[in-house]
């Protein structure tokens, strides 16, 4: 990086950290046209934005001299959405400005506010904090901003999503009008654009596309998953993609708890992040990920915002994100600052259309496939074992002596088998999963008028590739109904709703058809289900070929019902309309 002279304090700090090549966003903020201007920057997470605005601040804070005066009231204020991100920014700016005499103070929730007040009273050049805590210090008079020259809003879209609009507006209104304002955001929704127009002056617009950086370092995959196999797919993806750290995203706290319990039971070192954790538990979970005691973190979107873990090489979306912005923020937890990463979207076939729209909106090209199979993982385990230092490292004399002793007692095959067992004993077992295939995501066509229905459940759609009929030992006497039968068939058979054709419900059983291309897979999956109360088996012939009668229907009333029959009235009163219209009247005849 040659943004400053060789003897500049920031140049020295960058060289000590081996910063030799600037990212796209760092280059963009240092262009001559951006100097001393308000900046509106959109760039993906993990693109080096913290160092970028640290560099952009230099012309305002240091001037031509390159050194800061002794610290009094702060000159720059950086606002970040979460405690973790604020502390990360504090660390980054501390080393970047250390040779310039910079003093950086953090003010975040979960820390002692009195200790922060004492640090502020001693003087600071740069203050980094979360919106709520910064507002609290402003209202109490602990944070004096009369000399403030610059404000940075980091991850501005996340701050609005988290409900900090009022705090942000309070802070911006309180700061001097002649300040310089730098706004950084991964996305630029309407609210961010409106805030920029209100609080910035002639801002220099910088848009760093994902194709230039950010997602260019992320390999995106979309994985087809059969119903009820999301957890198995997560297990196999974690086993297949070798990464020192992985983030698995769920949409609710309950889903986080459930998936964490499953992964712990399978043998993965797993922690969780959700809104119900205390700050102490959250810190413990993050530290376990940083020092390697945990490999997997299951988290909600809100709980994972702002965290920066350098060893995250894999992100799994166990549930589809709500929108493209959330997809970008999730995926941006990996592939950071030039490192490679993998983002895997798990997609039920019934949700494929939504997944494709999300990917398209986010500008992400994903490779579609099924989940890694158990055979795929076993083959990969073999390759990894052959390349492992456990096998390739040079042997010492003691090792060779023990090896000769073992060979004297056991055959080479026995010793190799024992080595394989030892290697596999430390690995969670892979799961058997089905690839549901591309499937059909076209909506069903409405039934034509007059089209005959089956006994219950309807004729269903025509399956273009032919069908195979099956029998299920539940009928009308056990309250069989398509509303719960279809999900049950999908779960047990690992298929999707469009692969089910007609459903015919009789007294004691239900007969249904499955698309021929899915029938073999359906039967193999059903055979693995251990339920004695519900049994599914194939039919030799479709119901209409068996001559089986339709379910009985209630008899129709005679054509003369409701009319007088001699002088004797009907036993039951009936409803009929008055001649010429008008309300219905009750008649005994």
Kindly report, residue by residue over 302-313, the tens digit of the pLDDT. Answer: 777 767 777 889
**Is the model's pLDDT at 137 over the cut of 60?**
yes
- pLDDT in the model for residue 328: 84
Question: Does the pLDDT at position 564 exceed 50?
Answer: no
Q: What is the pLDDT of residue 555?
A: 54
- pLDDT for 303: 76
What would the pLDDT profile of 504-536 be if each residue is shown by its tens digit?
999 999 999 999 888 988 998 888 877 667 889
At 214, the pLDDT band (50, 70, 90 cuts) reads very low
Asked whether residue 471 carries a pLDDT value surpassing 60, the answer given is yes
Least confident of 123-132, 235-244, 281-290, 460-469: 460-469
pLDDT value, residue 184: 92
Per residue in 104-116, pLDDT (tens digit) is 999 998 789 999 9
Model pLDDT, residue 411: 85
Tell whether the model's pLDDT for residue 131 goes beyond 90: yes
Whole-number pLDDT of residue 171: 95
Q: Could you give phi then psi for residue 102, rounded to 5 degrees?
A: -75, 140
pLDDT of 208 > 70? The answer is yes
Closest CA to 28 of 66, 58, 5, 55: 55
Q: Which of residues 53 and 400 earns the better pLDDT score?
A: 53
Residue 563 pLDDT > 50: no
C-alpha 359/C-alpha 416 separation (Å) is 46
CA 44 – CA 526 distance, rounded (Å): 44
First to last CA, the chain: 100
- Here the tokens at position 208 are 């760093």
Distance CA 39, CA 188 (A): 13
What is the distance between the alpha carbons of residues 412 and 164, in angstroms, rounded to a whole number? 66
Partnered with residue 514 across adjacent β-strands are 468, 500
Distance CA 125, CA 567 (A): 106
Residue 467 dihedral angles phi and psi, to the nearest 5°: -145, 165
CA-based nearest residue to 528, from 486, 494, 499: 494
- What confidence score (pLDDT) does residue 235 get? 95
Give the lowest-confidence range in 244-258, 282-296, 396-410, 545-559.
Answer: 545-559
The predicted pLDDT at position 339 comes to 74
Give yes or no for residue 483 having a pLDDT over 70. yes
Q: How far apart are CA 124 and CA 589, in angstroms?
A: 97
User: What pLDDT is attached to residue 521?
Assistant: 87
* Measured distance CA(184)–CA(242) in Å, rounded: 32
pLDDT at 558: 53
Q: What is the pLDDT of residue 438?
A: 60
- Look at 184-188, 195-199, 206-210 and tell me which has the smallest mean pLDDT: 206-210
Q: Which of 266, 314, 255 is nearest to 289 (CA)?
A: 314
The pLDDT score that the predictor gives to residue 456 is 43
Q: How far is CA 71 from the centre of its chain?
A: 43
Kindly write down the DSSP assignment for every residue of 492-519, as one continuous string: HHT--GGGEEEEEE-SS-EEEEEEHHHH
pLDDT of residue 344: 96
pLDDT at 327 over 70: yes
Percent of the chain clearing pLDDT 70 (strictly above): 84
Contact between 570 and 495 under an 8 Å Cβ cutoff? The reply is no
Q: What is the mean pLDDT of the chain?
A: 82
| Mean pLDDT of the region 376-394 | 80
Average pLDDT for residues 266-282, to the nearest whole number? Answer: 87
Q: pLDDT tens digits for 386-445?
A: 777 767 777 777 878 888 888 888 888 877 887 777 777 778 888 888 776 665 444 344
- pLDDT (0 to 100) of residue 542: 75
pLDDT at 581: 45
Mean of the pLDDT values across residues 19-38? 89
**What SS3 class is residue 346?**
strand
CA–CA gap between residue 63 and residue 67 (Å, rounded): 8
How would you classify the pairing of strands 104-107 and 218-225? Answer: unpaired
Q: How far is the C-alpha of 259 from the C-alpha of 221, rounded, in Å?
A: 21
Q: Tokens 């204020």, residue?
A: 77
- Res. 63 pLDDT band, cuts 50 70 90: confident
Percent of the chain at pLDDT above 90? Answer: 41
How much is the pLDDT for 338? 64
Other Cβ atoms less than 10 A from the Cβ of 555: the count is 6
pLDDT score at 317: 96
Q: Which helix (H) or strand (E) holds 237?
A: helix 230-240
Q: Which domains does the chain have, with CATH numbers?
A: 9-207 (3.40.50.300), 215-373 (3.40.50.300), 377-425 (no CATH), 467-546 (3.30.70.330)
Angstrom distance (rounded) from CA 147 to CA 74? 7
* H-helix or E-strand spanning residue 150: strand 150-153
- Cα 542 from Cα 540, distance rounded (Å): 7
């Amino acid at each position: 990086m040659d943004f400053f002279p060789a003897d500049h304090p920031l140049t020295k700090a960058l060289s000590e950290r081996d910063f030799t090549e600037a990212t796209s966003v760092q280059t963009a903020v240092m262009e001559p046209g951006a100097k001393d201007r308000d900046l509106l920057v959109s760039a993906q997470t993990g693109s080096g934005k913290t160092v970028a605005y640290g560099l952009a601040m230099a012309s305002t804070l240091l001037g031509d001299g390159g050194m800061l005066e002794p610290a009094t009231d702060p000159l720059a204020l950086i606002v970040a959405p979460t405690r973790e991100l604020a502390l990360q920014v504090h660390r980054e700016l501390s080393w970047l400005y250390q040779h310039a005499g910079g003093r950086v103070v953090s003010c975040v929730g979960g820390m002692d506010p009195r200790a922060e007040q004492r640090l502020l009273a001693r003087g600071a050049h740069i203050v980094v904090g979360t919106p709520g805590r910064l507002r609290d210090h402003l209202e109490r008079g602990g944070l004096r901003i009369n000399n403030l020259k610059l404000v940075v809003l980091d991850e501005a879209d996340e701050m609005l999503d988290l409900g900090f609009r009022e705090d942000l507006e309070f802070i911006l209104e309180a700061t001097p009008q002649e300040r310089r304002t730098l706004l950084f955001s991964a996305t630029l929704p309407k609210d961010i654009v409106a805030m920029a127009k209100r609080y910035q002056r002639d801002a220099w617009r910088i848009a760093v596309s994902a194709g230039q950086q950010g997602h260019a370092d992320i390999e995106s995959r979309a994985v087809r998953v059969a119903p009820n196999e999301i957890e198995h797919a997560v297990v196999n993806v974690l086993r297949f993609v070798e990464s020192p750290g992985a983030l698995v995203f769920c949409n609710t706290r309950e889903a986080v708890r459930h998936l964490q319990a499953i992964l712990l039971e399978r043998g993965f070192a797993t922690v969780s992040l959700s809104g119900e954790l205390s700050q102490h538990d959250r810190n413990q979970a993050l530290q376990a990920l940083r020092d390697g005691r945990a490999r997997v973190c299951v988290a909600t979107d809100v709980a994972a915002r702002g965290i920066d873990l350098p060893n995250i090489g894999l992100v799994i979306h166990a549930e589809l994100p709500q929108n493209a912005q959330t997809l970008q923020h999730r995926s941006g937890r990996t592939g950071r600052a030039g490192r490679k990463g993998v983002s895997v979207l798990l997609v039920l076939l019934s949700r494929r259309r939504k997944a494709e729209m999300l990917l398209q909106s986010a500008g992400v090209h994903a490779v579609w496939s099924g989940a890694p199979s158990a055979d795929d993982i076993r083959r990969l385990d073999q390759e990894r074992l052959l390349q492992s230092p456990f096998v390739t490292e040079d042997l010492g004399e003691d090792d060779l002596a023990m090896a000769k002793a073992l060979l004297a007692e056991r055959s080479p095959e026995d010793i190799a088998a024992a080595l394989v067992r030892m290697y596999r004993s430390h690995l969670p077992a892979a799961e058997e999963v089905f690839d549901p295939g591309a499937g059909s995501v076209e909506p069903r066509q409405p039934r034509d008028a007059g089209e005959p229905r089956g006994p219950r459940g309807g004729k269903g759609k025509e399956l273009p590739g032919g069908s195979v009929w099956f029998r299920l030992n539940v009928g009308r006497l056990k309250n069989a109904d398509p509303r719960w039968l279809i999900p049950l068939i999908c779960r047990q058979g690992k298929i999707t709703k469009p692969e089910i054709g007609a459903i015919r419900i009789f007294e004691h059983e239900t007969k249904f058809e499955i698309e021929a291309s899915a029938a073999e897979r359906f039967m193999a999956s059903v055979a693995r289900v251990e339920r004695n109360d519900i049994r599914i088996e194939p039919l030799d012939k479709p119901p209409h070929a068996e001559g089986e009668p339709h379910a009985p229907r209630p008899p129709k009333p005679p054509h003369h019902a409701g009319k007088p029959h001699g002088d004797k009235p009907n036993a039951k009163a009936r409803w009929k309309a008055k001649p010429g219209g008008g309300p219905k009247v009750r008649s005994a005849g």
